[in-house]
Amino acid sequence: MALADWINADESAKDMLSRVLLERPLLLLPPLHRVPLRVGNVVEIVGPSPSAKTEVLIQAAISSILPKEWGGVHYGGLERLVIYIDLDCRFDVHRIAQSLKHRISEIQESTFLNEELFQACMRRFSYIRCYNSYELLAVLKTLQTRLQKETELNGLAAHLLMIDSIGAFYWVDRASKSLPLDGNNRKTLSLQSVAQTVVNEIRQLIQGQPMLVLVTKATIMGMGPLASNMKRTGTKWIPQDNSKENLNRRLEQYVYQEYMPSVWQLFVTHRIFLTTSDSKLGDVPVHVSQWLIPPLQVSDRFVVRDAGISIVT
């Protein structure tokens, strides 16, 4: 009997493949292509402003909202919903629209834009902006119900949760030290408690609905040559030296200081660092990316064009 159970397959190869593909969709977009990312991961994209952080989010969103196949043409997308929470409040919808149109017409190899396909893709992109931490918490607390509704409406599940950018309210929250309150077990509102709640809520969300979490973080302080800002305490990180000295000389000059509470830092599973180099390709600046978690010795150089991100060799 036990033997029969053992011989009986748990699932067919086809089932397994579809399960694995769902759990681990290929998000091979540069500069995120070096590390295999799967749902449940929390990826932090760190860099000074501007270093194409939002652009990386937009391109990832486009790959997710594009269908795999449509009208006999292979688009290679995931056809899943994207949730975009904008804390910086400066998302420009024209940018994603423009880039999506480019991507569609590039694949179709014609300049004629299929309006129906474009609209279907744009509908899979859900956007909300928050002007303070309370709005963010209110969004996260009610997101589960919202996701269920969206999934029913579209017949599709969300695949990406994006937050741009997580440190937006850092200074405001840090300054809001509330007075000691009556009631001995009342939590005080602080940077710490907000971060704790954000982490809890996202953790519960991705348990209920497996999603890949992509978060940007601007280096709002301590981003500068080594000499200055030495007095500040905090975790310091210096990019490791590697073979392409020229390329990394700029990276080396910088110290990136962690400022988010440790509860957030522990929540992050992957971290990539972006910066803009001095060199240019044509008239567009070349950006440099390097993985910090997991630490990789290679760094990539990429440029942003109308059609999206492309690697420079």
Interactions with other proteins, residue window 220-259 (CB under 8 A): 220-221, 223-225, 228
Query: Least distance (Å) from other proteins to the CB of residue 208?
Result: 11
Which residues make Cβ contacts (< 8 Å) with residue 120, sequence separation at least 6? 67
Please tell me the count of residues contacting other proteins according to CB under 8 A. Answer: 74
Query: Least distance (Å) from other proteins to the CB of residue 109?
Result: 24
Pair 172, 133: CB distance under 8 Å: yes
Spatial CA neighbour of 260 closest among 293, 287, 222, 230: 222
Asked whether position 211 contacts other proteins by CB under 8 A, the answer is no
Asked whether position 285 contacts other proteins by CB under 8 A, the answer is yes
Nearer to other proteins among residue 210 and residue 285 (C-beta): 285
Query: Least distance (Å) from other proteins to the CB of residue 21?
Result: 25
Pair 130, 87: CB distance under 8 Å: yes
SS3 of the chain: helix, strand, coil, percent, to 5: 35, 25, 40
What SS3 class is residue 288? strand
Nearer to other proteins among residue 189 and residue 247 (C-beta): 189
Q: Which of 8, 12, 185, 233 binds other proteins (CB under 8 A)?
A: 185
Nearer to other proteins among residue 2 and residue 230 (C-beta): 230
Q: Pattern of binders to other proteins over 129-168, x per CB under 8 A?
A: xxxx-xx-xxx-xx--xx------------------x--x
Q: Which of 22, 34, 40, 50 binds other proteins (CB under 8 A)?
A: 50
CA distances from 234 to 44, 167, 237, 244 (A): 18, 15, 10, 29
Nearer to other proteins among residue 19 and residue 149 (C-beta): 149
Which residues make Cβ contacts (< 8 Å) with residue 255, sequence separation at least 6? 222, 223, 224, 225, 226, 229, 236, 237, 238
Q: How many residues are given for the chain?
A: 313
Asked whether position 200 contacts other proteins by CB under 8 A, the answer is yes
Which long-range contacts link 278-286 to residues 24+ away (Cβ below 8 Å)? 278/250, 281/312, 286/312
Of 7-15, 28-36, 37-45, 217-225, the segment contacting other proteins by CB under 8 A is 217-225
Nearer to other proteins among residue 170 and residue 264 (C-beta): 170
> What is the DSSP pairing of strand 212-218 with strand 158-164?
parallel
Query: Least distance (Å) from other proteins to the CB of residue 242?
Result: 24
Query: Least distance (Å) from other proteins to the CB of residue 278?
Result: 11
Q: Pattern of binders to other proteins over 85-124, x per CB under 8 A?
A: ---xxxxxxxxxxx--------------------x-xxxx
Cα dihedral sign, 193-196-202-208? negative
